[in-house]
Amino acid sequence: MQADDAHLQTALDRVRSAPDLEALRALERESRVLVDEGFAAARQSPPERRKEAFQSVQRAKEAIEAAIRARKDEFEAAALESERSGAGFDPTLPAPKPRRGSLHPITQVTRELEDLFTSMGWRVLDGPEVELERYNFDALNISRDHPARDTMDTFRCDPEGKLVLRTHTSPVQVRAMERLKPPFRAIVPGKVFRNETVDASHEHTFHQMEGLCIDRGVSVGHLIGTMKTLLRGVFGRDIEVRLRPGYFPFVEPGFELDARCPFCKEGCSVCKQSTWIELLPCGMVHPNVLAAGGIDAEEWTGFAFGLGLSRLTMLRYEIDDVRLLLSGDPRFLEQFA
């Protein structure tokens, strides 16, 4: 084993002076081969010297392994030291940009409308998304047998059906009446839920914005004026409107308010060639609803409207599939940053 000792000593020296990590790895492989050869030679040696031969190779093996570890530590310490000292660090390079999120298009439209209405003295209210059936239906003059109560449309939250996911923002009308003294004006943006089969134009969860104005002597003229102001705010210019009769149990009279198509003069795909788009249902608050909210219908009058925020957002940005709104898909959302 004497001859091989010399080999192993050389290997040790080379490991100790390895110039870099790559060279060290090559030496590691080489010395393994060398050690294997050393053991093979020891096995061939005469029986009386065999034990000593094995021990000698084993010692050399351990010495080389220790030297490799030590050299690796030296390289690592040097790398760390150079990093710490700032060598190769250019402080003038721009930092990596953090990924910034952006406001959802519905949030953007909501905030714009909130600004518009608060500038006219309206307040912004909130209401529970899990609502009492009483507020969602009864207080709004929606009778027990009204089709809107059908379990097809309403998500129920308890076996008795006392709690529902609100199917519209209208229940906040009654909550507002209970809480605020007339006169008052309020908008209520928020999520609503319906048990719908989802497709490009139907979602189980969507956004509405309720509006309610209670004062003395409120007329349909006030309603129309407010809606024209809303349209001017959203589309940046005057837009003609028209009222058609519409039925909702909580308003009397009730209307469908249409707006002149903001995108064309002669008809286009958005207005289905009619030059009118259905904007929102609205009407004069039904006396039964005023009464449910504890307001004297002899003294006070009001108008209400139910704006489809999801629909308006889609119209505004020409989004053709409602499912995109809740998709959370960055490819969609980044377009509104």
Give yes or no for residue 15 binding ligand DAH (CB under 6 A).
no
| Count of Cβ atoms closer than 10 Å to residue 102 Cβ | 13
Residue 135 interacts with ligand DAH (CB under 6 A): yes or no: no
Query: In angstroms, rounded to a whole number, what is the distance separating the alpha carbons of residues 303 and 121?
Result: 16
Instruction: Tell me, residue by residue from 81 to 110, as one string, x for binding to ligand DAH by CB under 6 A and - for no binding.
Output: ------------------------------
38 or 254, CB closer to ligand DAH? Answer: 254
**Residue 75 Cα to chain centre, angstroms:** 46
| Shortest distance, position 289 Cβ to ligand DAH, whole Å | 9
Residues 175-214 that bind ligand DAH (CB under 6 A): 210
Write out the chain in H/E/C secondary structure.
CHHHHHHHHHHHHHHHCCCCHHHHHHHHHHHHHHHHHHHHHHHHCCHHHHHHHHHHHHHHHHHHHHHHHHHHHHHHHHHHHHHHHCCCCCCCCCCCCCCCCCCCHHHHHHHHHHHHHHHCCCEECCCCCEEEHHHHCHHHCCCCCCHHHCCCCCCECCCCCCEEECCCCCHHHHHHHHHCCCCEEEEEEEEEECCCCCECCECCEEEEEEEEEEECCCCHHHHHHHHHHHHHHHHCCCCCEEEEECCCCCEEEEEEEEEECCCCCCCCCCCCCCCEEEEEEEEEECHHHHHHCCCCCCCCEEEEEEEEHHHHHHHHHCCCCHHHHHCCCHHHHHHHC
Report 62-81 residues binding ligand DAH (CB under 6 A).
none
Give the nearest distance from C-beta 93 to ligand DAH in angstroms. 55
Instruction: Give the nearest distance from C-beta 299 to ligand DAH in angstroms.
Output: 20
Q: Which of 38, 189, 281, 293 binds ligand DAH (CB under 6 A)?
A: 281
Stretch that binds ligand DAH, among 130-138, 224-232, 281-289, 290-298 (CB under 6 A): 281-289
Instruction: Judge contact between 128 and 99, C-beta under 8 A.
Output: no
Q: Which of 60, 187, 304, 309 binds ligand DAH (CB under 6 A)?
A: 304
Of 40 and 152, which has the nearer Cβ to ligand DAH?
Answer: 152
Interacting residue with ligand DAH among 122, 137, 193, 248 (CB under 6 A): 248
- Which position's Cβ is nearest ligand DAH? 306
Q: Between residues 50 and 191, which has the closer beta carbon with respect to ligand DAH?
A: 191
Single out the residue of 8, 27, 165, 251 in contact with ligand DAH (rule: CB under 6 A). Answer: 251
Q: Which is nearer to ligand DAH, 68 or 315 (CB)?
A: 315
Binding test (CB under 6 A) with ligand DAH, winner from 168, 175, 207, 286: 168
- Tell me how many residues contact ligand DAH (CB under 6 A): 12
Span from 32-40, 42-50, 247-255, 310-318 in contact with ligand DAH (CB under 6 A) = 247-255
Give the up-direction half-sphere exposure of residue 97: CA atoms within 13 A in the CB hemisphere. 3
Our finding on whether 122 is near ligand DAH (CB under 6 A) is: no
Contact window for ligand DAH (CB under 6 A) among 13-21, 37-45, 196-204, 275-283:
275-283
Q: Which residues bind ligand DAH (CB under 6 A)?
A: 168, 170, 210, 248, 251, 254, 281-283, 304-306
